Amino acid sequence: MPENKSVVIRPAKNFGGSMSLPGDKSISHRYAMLGAIADGLTKLENFSSGADCASTLECLKSLGVRWERIGDAVAIYGQGAKLKRPTGVLDCGNSGSTMRMLSGILAGQDFTSELTGDDSLKRRPMERIMKPLGMMGAKITSAKDGRPPLRITGGRLKSIDYRVPVASAQVKTSLLFAGLYADGTTRVVEPIQTRDHGEHALEAFGAHLERRMKDVSITGGEKLKAVEATVPGDFSSAAFFLCAAGLFPGSQLSISGLLLNPTRTRLLDFLVGLGLKITPTDLREQHGELVGMLQVQGEGLKGARVIGEDTAALIDEIPVLAAIAPYTADGIEIRDARELRVKESDRIASVATNLRAMGAKVEELEDGLRIPGGQKLHGASIDSFGDHRIAMAFAVAALRADGDTEIKGADAAVISYPDFFNALQGLVQR
């Protein structure tokens, strides 16, 4: 767990090299949860090294699921659909994904469970899963205003036909997982298509879905079968390195074994629009997920506007895109990003505060940020606000600043990518 340690980042002359990344966080959570309720032994290579996915594994252990870690692999001994009554409170740590998606499975269990988390997670909205899971028949109570801790009494569920009001892959996945325990067909319709790893994972474990873009249905009662899979490299972690390469014209970076699922890679379209040269090669499919290698060449960056569906598709990559915005020629404007205010920190405020600390002009909007281009930044003392993506985004911005930058609470990076600072230093040329 983060201990509020600092890291100092010195400016770089160039950036580049070859790398691969630990397994994608979104996919690791889903494979671990489905492996737990499948029949047989699930083996997952390149499982996420992040503390969030460790929280998922610990919760599963409290629910009677046996697993072993062997290097970067995890072997999960599936229990079948019915888990064991937990002996204590399930601690989801910093992980909203663990709490929201596991709730879908707990809604189908014949016992009561309690879920809690750290101070950041206790501030995050859970009403978005409480309402539809309640409609399916689970009894869920929370602390004030739909915030954790949650208490879920599950049982036999009834299917629902549900339009998700706020685009959220976690909510969609939670309801599809609950749909496994429901009588009849559960249908989830999204306002904007979000990442579809839940759908691919369910199919990989043998479930049958009906899918049409934003419209997904699952029929309850199917048994899941264990899989052997390699988790593709985390695209959201790759984003920091892609943006770092973007800061240095002429830089050359290659990333192999990377998740390239089109519902996750909108950042590539933006970076190409900004001027980067990006070539995907070695494309293949692994359990429904597109995987490949990216070859990237840095070029001078233009500007961009991120709005509407693009904002939703880029949601985890916005902090780093905003952190490099002052170095672009024309700046970056981000709108329709209210959801960023209820992530691990209020990411709109965190980015604005830190950019200002580095001497940048930035306009904070209720639903986004307006960051002019052509700016020079200086080294400063930066606060991660306990948020992994803020710590990593400002380590990237620091590479082009004048002078050293101290990232306070840099160890928040353990949440998704514990080796981030080593990997970054390994690619920096000074």
In the block, which residue shows the tokens 């600043």? 401
Beta carbons of 111 and 151 less than 8 angstroms apart: no
- Residue nearer to ligand S3P on the CB measure, 130 or 253: 130
Least CB distance from residue 135 to ligand S3P, whole Å? 19
- Helix (H) / strand (E) containing 97: helix 96-106
| Catalytic residue chosen out of the listed positions 24, 52, 316, 411 | 316
Distance CA 416, CA 412 (A): 8
Annotated catalytic residue 215: no
- Helix (H) / strand (E) containing 398: helix 388-398
* Pairing state between β 428-429 and 14-20: antiparallel
Percent of the chain as helix, strand, coil, to the nearest 5: 35, 30, 35
Binding site for ligand S3P (CB under 6 A): 26, 97, 168-170, 173, 195, 315-316
- The tokens for 258 are 């990377």
Least CB distance from residue 168 to ligand S3P, whole Å? 3
- Residue nearer to ligand S3P on the CB measure, 66 or 122: 122
- Residue nearer to ligand S3P on the CB measure, 97 or 109: 97
Q: Residues with Cβ < 8 Å from 343, sequence gap 6 or more?
A: 96, 124, 387, 389
Least CB distance from residue 97 to ligand S3P, whole Å? 5
Least CB distance from residue 263 to ligand S3P, whole Å? 10
Distance CA 136, CA 156 (A): 9
β-partners of residue 139 are 153
CA distances from 365 to 254, 256, 321, 369 (A): 35, 37, 16, 5
Least CB distance from residue 248 to ligand S3P, whole Å? 27
- Residue nearer to ligand S3P on the CB measure, 79 or 170: 170
Least CB distance from residue 172 to ligand S3P, whole Å? 8
- Residue nearer to ligand S3P on the CB measure, 15 or 25: 25
CA distances from 159 to 106, 138, 176, 203, 206 (A): 15, 12, 10, 19, 20
- Residue nearer to ligand S3P on the CB measure, 90 or 428: 90
Residues with catalytic function: 316
